[in-house]
Amino acid sequence: MPNGFAGAGPHGLAGIAALAEELGYDSLWTADHVVLPSPRVAPSPLEPDAPLLDAVVSLAYVAAHTERILLATGCVVLPQRDPLVLAKQLASVDVLSGGRLVFGVVAGYLEPELRALGVPLEGRGPRTAEYVRAIRALWEDASPAFHGRYVSFKDVDAHPRPVRRVPVVMGGHTRAAHRRAAELADGWYGWMLGLRAAAAQVESVRAEAAAAGRTLEISVTPARPLDPENVRAYADLGVDRLIVSHRPGLPLDELEEFVRRNAPGQVLL
């Protein structure tokens, strides 16, 4: 969450991004909540006054302060975004970063947020799938057109297109989410998983991918501190990428220390 709390400002965000790149991190993943319930109600992850910059705008800013690190939405709550506007924003990030965008998406779970943005909780899975297809059409088709239940367009286009085929990473812990990942995405993302939970999730994701005749890159935010033994254990489960997450509200000096402590050179075998 480089775009929250101590990172929710120009100095903090740019500094953390540059430090992560210097230390050899593979990627930066921005959190996404447009609004939060006030007062806080379960299962909201944050207090309503928690500072959190927009996930996509943050990546555009980070693109100007880095050169190599991948820039990922981790993950954008897709049903509550207009897919054509989002496609334009993300294509712009990919162009401005020289082709470093990773498009992480989830269907969402926070009913007050979705309701405030005019999206019912029911049907959010199919809506997510449809939006991914529509965005792909706008990015990749010679003459973009799409006709679905939630979005429909033709006789329009949008340039510049992304620099390269943008990888899509689908988050979610349900079998339906695993199925959507296998059908539509290049990877799957599991949030805050211990080893037993990760093993069950990876097994399900692999089964759905195999049924679709595909393989997916597996990313997980671990629910335990990283050390060589834990890194090895997640790798043995088939996890390709570990996305570390800090405790919300760390001051900048502690956040920088967290980034240094979990850098690849500190925890890789």
- Cα R_g (the chain), whole angstroms: 18
Percent of the chain with pLDDT over 70: 100
The 10 Å Cβ neighbour count of residue 13 is 22
Q: How far apart are CA 144 and CA 156, in angstroms?
A: 7
Q: What is the mean pLDDT of the segment spanning 48-57?
A: 98
pLDDT at 116 over 80: yes
Predicted local confidence at residue 115, as pLDDT? 97
Which pLDDT band, with edges at 50, 70 and 90, does 122 fall under? very high
pLDDT at 226 over 80: yes
Cis geometry, peptide bond prior to residue 222 (ω within 30 degrees of 0)? no
Predicted local confidence at residue 265, as pLDDT? 86
Average pLDDT of every residue of the chain: 97
Predicted local confidence at residue 70, as pLDDT? 98
Predicted local confidence at residue 264, as pLDDT? 92
CA-based angle 137:123:45, to the nearest 5? 100
Question: What domain count does the chain have?
Answer: 1
pLDDT at 40 over 70: yes
The three-class DSSP label of residue 4 is strand
Which neighbouring-strand residues pair with 220?
190, 242
Residue pLDDT, tens place only, 195-213? 999 999 999 999 999 999 9
Taking each helix axis from N to C terminus, what angle separates 195-211 and 175-184, rounded to the nearest 10 degrees? 50
Predicted local confidence at residue 128, as pLDDT? 98
| Domain, as residue range, for 53 | 5-267
The 10 Å Cβ neighbour count of residue 3 is 28
Q: How far apart are CA 134 and CA 131, in angstroms?
A: 5
- Rounded to the nearest 10 degrees, how much is the dihedral formed by the CA atoms of 91, 93, 96, 100? -100
Q: 161 — alpha (psi -120 to 50), left (phi > 0) or beta?
A: beta
Percent of the chain with pLDDT over 90: 96
The three-class DSSP label of residue 203 is helix
Which pLDDT band, with edges at 50, 70 and 90, does 269 fall under? low
Q: Which residue is listed with tokens 């994701």? A: 205
Which pLDDT band, with edges at 50, 70 and 90, does 56 fall under? very high
Predicted local confidence at residue 1, as pLDDT? 83
Predicted local confidence at residue 267, as pLDDT? 82
Q: What is the CATH number of the domain that holds 229?
A: 3.20.20.30
